[in-house]
Amino acid sequence: MSSLKITIASKSPVFKKDTAYVVGVKEQSKKLQLTKSDSDTSSLAKHDLEQLGASAASESITKVAAPNGAVFALLGLGSEKFDANTLRNLGGAISRNLRAFTEVVVDLGALNKGNSLALIEGLHLGFYEYNGRKSKASIKPALLKKVTLVSDSKISNSELTQLQVLSEAVHVTRDLVNTPPNEMYPASMVKAVQTGTKGLGLKIQVWDEKALAKDGFGGILAVGMGSSRPPRLVKIEYKPKGAKKHLALVGKGITFDTGGLSLKPAESMVGMKYDMTGAATSYQAIVAIARLGLPVQVSAWLCLAENMPSSTAQRPDDVIKIRNGKSVEVLNTDAEGRLVLADGLSAAVETKPDLIIDIATLTGAATIALGNRYAGLMGAEKAIKTVETAAAKAGELVWHMPLPAELRSLLNSDVADIANVKIGNRAGGMLIGGHFLREFVPAEIDWAHLDIAGPADNSGAAYGYTPKGGTGVILRTLVAVAEGLSGNK
């Protein structure tokens, strides 16, 4: 995992070789103009920016020769207002596209402190690439090591450290999600957690298949029983002294999802390594919270299983029993995420937290309803407002979806307390998933459900600070929730 050293300077450094100097381009009176900056752009004054190939389109970058072997990177600032979200995406575009330079100087003129911090966050988040198991000959390594932001904002080292901690947690989440499923399975995820939490004072508890059976985790067991690689449940606890609030995170961790005996079509199976994003996000959120030392108790429940078809797999028509004692009629084995989450939610409820948030790539219906950039948000009114406030602070996109009462009856079963789907009815699929999960959280406990099926994986081209592949979405929102609960606004 590569990281950037980011420093703040009140003046633009002198031009030097192998350094890119980023200056902004805006359209004013139908003509391209450079924004005011401290950098010496006099060598560009005699040129028509449009003839140089520059553009005001947001995130566009045009490289032009600068003095002493340096390069100007003319960055399109777009027509949107200059807010924190715009600056995060511009920062990501800079670090993604200027990796071939050893140093980058960013001079976009006067920025307030909030916008400067957002730009720095975007620089960190955008500086990511997953090369997986490519041979060295196929990898073009990034040369970029240092970024200097020209700004008069007074930014402390602790503020810079916080942004670095957050971005590192996002990067690790992306790495876990991008890992091939022959390497990432329940037991290997457990090892990653045990290694990645060393020295943080976190308590780890792991249930193997025997312990899951003994303690009544029937949902996780049923989903994982068709695989030769058994399921696991992991509980991670962070309990700092003086914490007054308790946040519980429950993450769906299906390390690969074939659909089980309700087998997915071949093309729909590609990419199902991303189905453990909720667990990876919950895990790295608690790591970031611990590294930041936030005074709030947090527990993360990682519900890990591989959903495979075999002679030992659960069948449609099976009835299973969840940790809280409720029975579930399984009508579709491809609606497995809600089964493992039901166990995780039941266990989290037993600890009586102030707020439970479950995170899951739960339904394809979420993508149909909201596209690829918004997460669906459902749950109790107070929890909804808490998550919406945190998401706005983090600059992440969530959309409050209803849980219409009339849909609940679609999950009625003749042989169990509830069915996991309504066969033959595709209406409101994301909402049906939310209704199922709500059955495992009592009304007196604040609860929110985040369906991140759309934004968890970017199958298209990178944009802003979002790479292709696993995105690490919602992690920063979860940390912002913890900050709010701890009183650190």
CATH of the domain at 48: 3.40.220.10
Check if the beta carbon of residue 379 is closer than 8 Å to that of residue 443: no
Q: Are 369 and 474 members of one domain?
A: yes
Name, in order, each residue with C-beta under 8 angstroms of 200's C-beta and a sequence gap of 6 or more: 238, 287, 290, 291
Report the amino acid identity of residue 336.
Answer: E
CATH of the domain at 482: 3.40.630.10
User: Hey, how many other C-beta atoms are within 10 angstroms of the C-beta on 183?
Assistant: 11
Confidence of residue 141 (pLDDT cuts 50, 70, 90): confident
The closest of 246, 124, 131 to 180, measured between CA atoms, is 131
Q: Checking DSSP bridges between strand 327-329 and strand 418-419, what pairing results, if any?
A: parallel
460 plus 400 within the same structural domain: yes
* Mean per-residue pLDDT, 452-478: 97
Q: Which residues contact 168 (CB under 8 A, 6 or more apart)?
A: 1, 3, 288
What pLDDT, in 10s, does the model give residues 23-76?
Answer: 999 998 889 999 988 889 999 988 899 999 999 999 999 999 999 999 999 999
pLDDT (average), residues 12-17: 94
Query: Do residue 232 and residue 120 come from a single domain?
Result: no
pLDDT for 101 equals 97
Catalytic residues: 264, 338
Q: Which domain holds residue 358?
A: 163-486
399-456: pLDDT as tens digits = 999 999 999 999 999 999 999 999 988 889 999 999 999 999 999 999 999 999 999 9
Question: Would the pLDDT of 489 be above 80?
Answer: no
User: Does the pLDDT value for residue 486 go beyond 70?
Assistant: yes
Q: Which helix (H) or strand (E) holds 103?
A: strand 103-107
Same domain, 92 and 205: no
Query: How confident is the model at residue 110, as a pLDDT?
Result: 84
Let me know whether 171 and 230 are in one domain: yes
- Summarize pLDDT for 361-382 with one digit per residue, the tens: 999 999 999 999 999 999 999 9
What confidence tier does 176 reach under pLDDT thresholds 50, 70, 90?
A: very high
pTM of the shown model: 0.97
Name the token pair of 149. 């932001």
Domain final position from 105, 127, 153 = 153
Strand duo 469-470 + 457-458: pairing: antiparallel
Both 338 and 407 in one domain: the answer is: yes
Residues 140, 192, single domain; the answer is: no
Q: Are 282 and 336 in contact (CB under 8 A)?
A: no
Task: Establish if 158 belongs to a structural domain.
Answer: no
Residue 73 and residue 208 in one domain: no
CA 250 – CA 220 distance, rounded (Å):
13
Is pLDDT above 90 for 82? Answer: no
Residue 215 and residue 149 share a domain? no
Nearest-angstrom CA–CA distance, 472 and 233: 21
- What pLDDT does residue 109 have? 87
330 backbone φψ class: left, alpha, beta (φ>0; ψ -120 to 50): beta
pLDDT score recorded for residue 370 = 98
CA 211, CA 343: separation in Å to the nearest integer? Answer: 13
For residues 117 and 225, membership in a common domain is answered with no
Which residues contact residue 450 at a Cβ distance below 8 angstroms, ignoring those fewer than 6 apart?
357, 358, 359, 360, 375, 376, 377, 387, 398, 474
Contact 294, 483 (CB under 8 A): yes
Determine the pLDDT at residue 2. Answer: 60
Q: How many domains does the chain have?
A: 2
Question: Would the pLDDT of 488 be above 70?
Answer: no
Whether residues 376 and 353 share a domain: the answer is yes
Q: Is residue 154 a contact partner of residue 139, using CB atoms and an 8 Å limit? A: no
Residues 200 and 312 in one domain: yes
Placement of tokens 């606890």 in the chain: 237
pLDDT attached to residue 1: 53
For residue 113, the SS3 value is: helix
For every residue of 306-345, DSSP letters joined together read EE--STTS--TT-EEE-TTS-EEE-S-TT--HHHHHHHHH
Distance of CA 486 to the CA centre of its chain: 21
- Write the pLDDT tens digit of every residue in 192-201: 999 999 999 9
- What are the tokens at 112? 């307030």
Instruction: Inform me whether the pLDDT recorded for 153 exceeds 80.
Output: yes
Between 138-147, 344-353, 363-372, 464-473, the lowest mean confidence (pLDDT) is in: 138-147
- Tell me: pLDDT of 266 over 60: yes
